[in-house]
Structures are given as structure tokens and as C-alpha cells.
Amino acid sequence: MICILPILGQSNKKSQTKPVESIFPLILRGGEIQVQIRNETAEKDWNQYAFEKTKGLIDAYESYTGVNFHQAAAPIYKSLPESEKNKIKLVLKDAVFLNGTRIGGYNNVSGDLGKDLGIFMEPGIVPKGYPALLLHELGHFYFTEPSWLSEGIVSFLPYLLAKKGLLKLDSEELSAVTDEWSLEEARPSKDLPLSQDFRALDPSLGLWFYSKAVRTQMILYKELGNSGYKSFLKQITLSETLNTEGVLKILNKIQKKNWNQILQGWVLPGAYGAYPANSFLQMKEIDKL
Ligand SMILES: [Zn+2]
């Protein structure tokens, strides 16, 4: 799984402070894990805040999907040495580089991007009170492949979980979660289906990718209803490797529908079918469903 944080809001503050390492034990349904936070910035009270948000999100994921963190994250930990298992590592740095380029943040919990494991972030993109990207990256312990599906789910779920009363977010944090994904991004002239992961083909279409991926989840939520969507997420989490065809199989198992038509234009090639390109431009539209 390779996940580069999509937003590059960067602060240029340089701090000469010593790194502060915090280790928070977190008791979950499947046992204890450790949340390790290495903070190389001057924002020292960020550690406690990030831990509280992490705890809240993982609790809410466990209760909504019905799948324990330990089970959901097993494929990620499988290839890691024993000493790295059952840990969530967050690293806050003034400037985050990957292969010599400053990218603002990246997710390397599985080790695909080198030996330094963790979720790396700059304080400018995840300040206290603005946890959208932190919540997104933590969600990838549950959802990794295919990217059109996982990127949409982990961006959309914090909002849904907050609305269901499972995740406590104040109004500023809730706005962070709704504002982060540019849902109203204008449709580009070159509009490809998500299954082609066009982020890699053309980086200028990045915001459109996330907008489409989140709104695809809103379509699925509307079509499946709350209990159907929950059971969909559970089956996705429990499938170790998954491609688009596998996702369609799971959808059909939950509800027999013309999913090809519903997802045409969004995920699958072809003209937009059941849902036009401007469907669900605001997250709060699901409040009525
Ligand atoms: Zn992601």
C-alpha cells in the first residue's frame, strides 16, 4: 500500500527542539496496542491530542465495522518483524521528505516506502483541531486495496461515524473532515473512471480523484442503506486481497442490483449512468439518508 498524503499545505517554521517521544497504551477489543508518537516540532501538546483522536477513531471503526483492529490490521503487520507489530507510529516533523522531495506527509505503516515505519506528517497539514488527514491515514489500517475504494472509505467514514455518534468530533473538527476532500472540485475535461487510478497518470487530477472516491462511498451508502453499508465494510475489511471485480461480487452478495450501471462513470468505464457527475457535492447530503 502506498499512500501519499494528497494535501501539501506546508509551514516553513523551523524548530531546533529535541524530539519528544510519547508511548500511549491503547486497550482495544483484541488486546493492547501501543500508539508511539515521535514529535520533532515545537507543537508539543500535539501528542496528547493525536492520541485522543487515534483512540476515538479506532474505537469507532471497531464498533461500526464489527471487526477488531487486530484482525483488520493483520495483513499489514504480517510482513513486519515481531517488534513492530501492534504499534501505531505517528511522526510529526517540520518538513517531511520522501526520496529527496518535500511532500508534506506520507503513510509507510507497511514498510513499502522504506525501513522508517509510520505515518509522517507536517504540523501545517494536521494541526490540533484539524485532524482530517490523521483520521484518513489511520483508516488505512483497515482499508488498503483497491485504492478507489479505500481512499474513499477512509475519507468518508470519520464524517459518517461522527453523525452516528460513534466518533466525537467538535464542530471545527467536523468541518475539517468535510472540507478536506474538495467535493465540489470542478469536473475536468479528462474525466477517467476511478478504477484506472488516474492520480498516477496525471497528478493534476488528484483532487478530482479524492472528490470522486468520497462521493462514490456516498452512492454506495445510499444504495445499501446503513446496515448494508456496514456489512459491506466488514466484508471488505476481512478480504485480504481485493480488486474491483471482488468488490462487485461482495456488493452483489449483499444486494442484487445493477452495480455496473450504478458505478458506471464513477468507478467503471463508460458514461455516468444512475448518478450524474455532480451527485453528492456535500457530505451533509447523507444526513437525510
Ligand atoms: Zn489515503
Length of the chain: 289
Cα(251) to centroid of ligand 1, in Å? 22
Residue partners of 82: CB distance under 8 A and separation at least 6? none
pLDDT average, residue stretch 19-45: 96
pTM for this entry: 0.93
Backbone dihedral region for residue 157 (phi beyond 0: left; psi -120 to 50: alpha; all else: beta): alpha
Residue 90 pLDDT class (50, 70, 90 cuts): very high
Cα(56) to centroid of ligand 1, in Å? 19
Cα(48) to centroid of ligand 1, in Å? 23
Q: What is the pLDDT of residue 289?
A: 86
Q: What is the pLDDT of residue 15?
A: 53
pLDDT, one tens digit per residue, over 177-221 is 999 999 999 999 999 999 999 988 888 899 999 999 999 999 999
Backbone phi, then psi, for 175, in 5-degree steps? -65, -40
Cα(115) to centroid of ligand 1, in Å? 19
pLDDT average, residue stretch 108-120: 93
Residue ranges of domains in the chain: 1-142, 185-289
pLDDT average, residue stretch 219-229: 98
pLDDT, one tens digit per residue, over 231-276 is 999 999 999 889 999 999 999 999 999 999 999 999 999 999 899 9
The grid coordinates listed for 57 are: 477513531
pLDDT average, residue stretch 215-228: 98
pLDDT average, residue stretch 2-9: 54
C-beta atoms surrounding 136 within 10 Å: 28
CATH class in words for 1-142: alpha beta
- pLDDT of 8 above 50: no
pLDDT, one tens digit per residue, over 126-177 is 999 999 999 999 999 999 999 999 999 999 999 999 999 999 999 999 999 9
Cα(8) to centroid of ligand 1, in Å? 14
Q: What is the pLDDT of residue 201?
A: 86
